[in-house]
Chains A and B, each alone.
Chain A
Amino acid sequence: MRRLFPHRYLILRRLVQVSILLLFAAGSALGWKVLRGNLSSSRLLDAVPLADPFALLQILATGTLVSAEALLGGGIVLVLFGVIGGRTFCGWVCPVNMVADLAGSLRSLGRDAHASAALSGGPISRKARYWVLGMSLVLSALLGVAAFEWISPISMLHRGILFGMGLGWTAVLALFLFDLSVQRQGFCGHLCPLGAFYALAGTYGFLRVRHLKDRCTLCGECIRHCPEPQVLPMVGKHSGAVLSGECTNCGRCVDVCAEKAMRFGAVSRAKARQDHEGG
């Protein structure tokens, strides 16, 4: 247990990610009714509709109205992740996270801490994803189809696992190699419009990582392991919670902080903002 404790959120996250995938797979292959469909839209326990709110937004951008069931499903998911906050979908549900994390780990393998920190830079800006998000909606309107859904490696991987991969593995491999050789979290943290969507939707959620400055020894482990290090500007400077919706709530910083200076907490954005200003 002692050896697993520094990885508790990582293990929990993998369990959640794999369980969701397995429940979908059981729905598809064995007819289980817990979760049927896929991340685009699904039914929970054969009753509750769930849908990808960003996919629906793109469909609405084409000028097409979908059925009330789909809108309700999208609303449920949006409210769920909006209330939890951050990019919790990315950290805890999205299957691409496992591919990106694997690439990220391999990238820093065998390198000392400083070298791997230097490797976290790259050619693409963290803001690029918001442009891709905007372009998804513009292209959807122009082409009459949900534009990102046609090229999304998330759907390709997820649908591939459930319904057969075809050549979809090439897209997943491309993403993996891109993350490995060009930029750490190159797709998830820089380009993915779904991540950008959830970053905006999750800005006002309540689940936030809190930093306690008094415990911090400035070891820098949290920032080194964080897939979105720009959300931790307060570390070592003042106590307070993460403000940015770009945080995936993955809890890796909580895992790796030996001094317990990082913790999950329920903090409203207003409160978090006050802390920073007072900090």
Chain B
Amino acid sequence: MGGLVWAGFIDGKKAYPTVLRPPGAVTEAQFLAKCTKCGLCAEACPYDALIMARPGDGRPLGTPYFRMRERPCRMCRDIPCTAACPTGALDTALLSGPDKAGVQQLDIDRARIGLAVVDRETCIAYWGIQCDACYRACPVIDRAITVEHLKNDRTGKHAILGPVVHSEHCTGCGVCEHACVTRKASIFVLPRELAMGEPSEYYVRGWDASDEKRINNSAGEVTTTTPRSGQDPLEYLNREEF
């Protein structure tokens, strides 16, 4: 019986979905299995940005995570937190790749801690007020966040210079969330699994030859069957109520 309570406790704690892991973290399930909660990553962080989850924090106990609004990741080039991990829960291989000269290098730009998401309803730039705090703060400026010029339909006369995040480049460092001037940040980092959708292979972007390559990954022919799809369309048109 004690074992059931024990298992239930762990299962409940495991399911915390919005936890932002250090750079180079393996998938969340793997991370929870591999992390021994030793805190070497948190000790290695020169900005003390990583928090070791305490009982009462609601996060998986003893595991490291970020609170971006308080202390974001400063994207150190030598990535001391990832390098400090003794078990491979943080893996420098996930942050390494060939540089321009083709040499394997640690590259913090490869980090995918999460993805910044803009709440356009509370972001004052989308109200028409000139604010580019997140854009200016972004360490990957002009790639991860760009400023989009839009017509202000509300006033009919003015421009909107709104921040747009690009998932291809956003590391999820959270400096934008930290910099945001609204009372509660209007740009904030979410884990990628929460923040992103995923298109099916059978939707292909038009006028983009390279996008068709995604079909190659498809598992085979995908068809959708519903109770209605089995019926003859004529039958539907001939129905009385139509």
Binding site for B on A (CB under 8 A): 27-28, 31, 36-38, 40-43, 49, 51-52, 55-56, 59, 62-64, 66-67, 69-70, 73, 135, 138-139, 142-147, 149-151, 155-156, 159-160, 162-168, 170-171
CB <8 Å contact, A159 and B60: no
Most buried by B among A28, A31, A37, A167: A37
Q: Which of B1-9, B130-138, B154-162, B200-208 contacts A (4 or more CB under 8 A)?
A: B1-9
B37 at the interface (CB under 8 A from A): yes
Size range of the chain B interface in the assembly: 35 or more
B-chain residues with CB within 8 Å of residue A55 when the two chains form the complex: 36
A194 to chain B, nearest CB (A): 13
CB A163 to nearest CB in B, in angstroms, measures: 4
| Contacts A/B (CB < 8 Å), 23 sampled | A27-B43, A41-B38, A42-B40, A51-B86, A59-B33, A64-B33, A67-B85, A67-B86, A135-B3, A139-B10, A143-B14, A144-B29, A144-B32, A145-B14, A145-B33, A150-B60, A151-B6, A156-B62, A159-B39, A159-B62, A160-B54, A162-B39, A171-B55
Task: List, in ascending order, chain B residues with CB within 8 A of A28's CB.
Answer: 39, 43
A73 surroundings in chain B (CB, below 8 A):
86
Chain B min CB distance to A51 (Å):
7
A/B pair count, beta carbons within 8 Å: 131
B37 and A66 within 8 A (CB): no
Smallest CB gap from A148: residue in B: B6
A168 contacts B38, C-beta separation under 8 Å: no
For the complex, give the distance between the alpha carbons of A131 and B115 in Å.
Answer: 44
Mark B residues whose CB is within 8 Å of A.
Answer: 2-3, 6-7, 9-11, 13-14, 29-30, 32-34, 36-40, 42-43, 51-57, 60-62, 85-88
Q: Are A143 and B55 in contact (CB under 8 A)?
A: no
CB within 8 Å for A59 and B39 given contacts A156-B55, A170-B55: no
User: A191's closest neighbor in chain B, by CB?
Assistant: B2
Contact A40 B38 (CB under 8 A): yes
A203 to B11, CA, bound (A): 34
Are A166 and B36 in contact (CB-based, < 8 A)? no
Given contacts A163-B52, A167-B55, A167-B56, whether A151 and B9 have CB atoms under 8 Å apart is yes
Given A150-B10, A151-B6, A168-B55: A37 touches B43 (CB 8 Å cut-off): yes
Q: Which 7 A-B pairs have the closest CB atoms?
A: A166-B54, A167-B56, A67-B88, A41-B38, A163-B52, A167-B55, A64-B33
A56 to B3, CA, bound (A): 20
Chain A, Cβ-Cβ closest to B85: A67
Which residues of chain A are within 8 angstroms of B10 by Cβ–Cβ distance? 139, 143, 145, 147, 150-151
Residue of A nearest to B37 (CB): A40
Contact among B43, B57, B61 for A150, CB-based, below 8 A: B61
Besides the contacts A40-B38, A41-B36, A59-B33, what 15 more A-B pairs have beta carbons closer than 8 Å? Answer: A40-B37, A52-B36, A64-B33, A69-B86, A70-B87, A70-B88, A143-B7, A143-B10, A151-B6, A151-B10, A156-B62, A159-B39, A164-B52, A164-B54, A166-B54
Nearest residue, chain B, Cβ from A169 = B55
A138 contacts which chain B residues (CB < 8 A)?
A: 3
Q: How far is the CA of A159 from the CA of B51 in the complex (A)?
A: 12
Q: Which residues of A contact B86 (CB under 8 A)?
A: 37, 41, 43, 49, 51, 67, 69-70, 73
Determine whether the beta carbon of A166 is less than 8 Å from that of B56: yes
Residue of chain B at shortest CB distance from A28: B43
